[in-house]
């Protein structure tokens, strides 16, 4: 099979790889038909992510068709599915408490095992969710990003009247949708790029911006030092900053104001299966509106060039770049 292999910082190749082994009990072989390039993968491509080790086949936002099944999963043969790529051990204290995303032995497809930027990928049947025939594979691939937004919003204290999302890339827009669908009454988006800002307003963001000291909840979907500082500036006393963006690691913040204003700083990592299932419900029923301008799926051969473009230039006009093989 063909696969996109990350060889190290700024280096990717398309090459022949062995097909995945035959599926074992409770496993599936999937032919990916839409795989989104995640912002964290672009950071990984640049060498900024310590959890990725080359050579690596990335790809964790994906949907496709089941072409082979192991024992106990035969009912999914031929099914169109989206896949939750993140699983815990199921036995530790964190997993038993429902925090499978924090399991010390968690497995993320495309990080710890080969991902979906390939003609075929092996996954757990328990992580697959069927797609209705009228839901496209590209929409299926957006369930993973939307689950991130669901998780971030649900980590915040209830009752926020004024919410601000910083950044209107993919994660910012899905977080905006999650906030609106969770019933938050006023959600503004801060975004410098005019095209992205207009897309956020089209999807339901308030256009009146945000004033310092007024927000009950700020969700930073960028993760730079400047956006983390801005998030704290926008909060009212007692407000909460949820940090989901991963653009930068080291950040210096003045903590006297954090303490005197009794601000909460909450990290948000990935999602749990209930978050993924909520994203699945919203997208398959049409409750989540991510726009009707999704880009076509590009062939795997374009992968290295697309990664280089996303890593090296201004924000692209596309909401999401999708790749897939043609096996």
Other Cβ atoms less than 10 A from the Cβ of 309: the count is 14
d(CA 46, CA 195): 25
- pLDDT for res 315: 83
Strand partners, 297: 322
Distance CA 249, CA 42 (A): 15
Secondary structure (3-state) at 283: helix
Listed in sequence order, the residues at least 6 apart from 254 whose beta carbon sits closer than 8 Å to its beta carbon are: none
Indicate the SS3 state at residue 171.
Answer: helix
For the chain, the domains span 2-142+290-324, 146-267
pLDDT score for 293: 73
Alpha-carbon distance of 318 to 165, in angstroms, equals: 19
Q: Going residue by residue through the chain (327 aa), what tens digit of pLDDT does each one get?
A: 999 999 999 999 999 999 999 999 999 999 999 999 999 999 999 998 888 999 999 999 999 999 999 999 999 999 999 999 999 999 999 999 999 999 999 999 999 999 999 999 999 999 999 999 999 999 999 999 999 999 999 999 999 999 999 999 999 999 999 999 999 999 999 999 999 999 999 999 997 777 899 999 999 999 999 999 999 999 999 999 999 999 888 999 999 999 999 999 999 999 999 999 999 999 999 999 887 678 899 999 999 999 999 999 888 888 899 999 875
Q: Given the structure tokens 């995945």, which residue do they identify?
A: 20
- Topology annotation, domain 146-267: Rossmann fold (3.40.50)
Domain 2-142+290-324: CATH architecture, name and number where available? Alpha-Beta Complex (3.90)
**pLDDT for the residue numbered 228:** 97
pLDDT recorded at residue 327: 59
Considering the entire predicted model, what is its pTM?
Answer: 0.96
The 10 Å Cβ neighbour count of residue 80 is 20
């Amino acid at each position: 099979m063909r696969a996109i292999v990350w060889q190290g910082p700024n280096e990717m190749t398309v090459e022949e790889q062995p097909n995945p082994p035959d599926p074992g009990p409770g496993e599936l072989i999937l032919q990916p038909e839409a795989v989104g390039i995640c912002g964290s993968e672009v950071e990984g491509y640049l060498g900024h992510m310590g959890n990725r080790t080359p050579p690596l086949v990335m790809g964790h936002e994906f949907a496709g068709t089941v072409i082979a099944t192991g024992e106990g999963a035969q009912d999914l043969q031929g099914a169109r599915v989206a896949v939750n790529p993140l699983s815990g051990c199921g036995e530790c204290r964190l997993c038993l408490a429902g925090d499978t995303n924090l399991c010390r032995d968690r497995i993320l497809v495309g990080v710890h095992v080969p991902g979906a930027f390939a003609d075929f990928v092996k996954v757990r049947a328990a992580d697959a969710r069927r797609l209705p025939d009228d839901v496209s594979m590209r929409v299926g691939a957006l369930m993973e990003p939307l689950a991130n937004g669901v998780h971030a919003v649900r980590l915040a204290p209830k009752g926020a009247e004024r919410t601000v999302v910083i950044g209107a890339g993919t994660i910012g827009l899905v977080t905006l949708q999650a906030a609106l669908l969770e019933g938050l009454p006023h959600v503004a988006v801060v975004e410098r790029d005019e095209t992205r800002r207009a897309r956020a307003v089209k999807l339901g963001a308030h256009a009146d911006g945000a004033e310092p000291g007024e927000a009950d909840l700020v969700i930073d979907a960028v993760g730079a030092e400047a956006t983390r500082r801005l998030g704290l500036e926008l909060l009212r006393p007692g407000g909460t900053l949820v940090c989901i963006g991963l653009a930068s690691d080291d950040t210096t913040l003045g903590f006297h104001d954090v303490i005197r204003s009794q601000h909460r700083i909450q990290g948000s990592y990935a999602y749990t299966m209930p978050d993924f299932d909520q994203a699945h419900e919203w997208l398959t029923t049409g409750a989540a509106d991510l726009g009707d301008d999704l880009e076509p799926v590009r062939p795997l051969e374009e992968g290295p060039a697309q990664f280089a473009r996303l890593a090296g230039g201004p924000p692209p006009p596309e909401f999401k770049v999708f790749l897939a093989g043609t096996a």
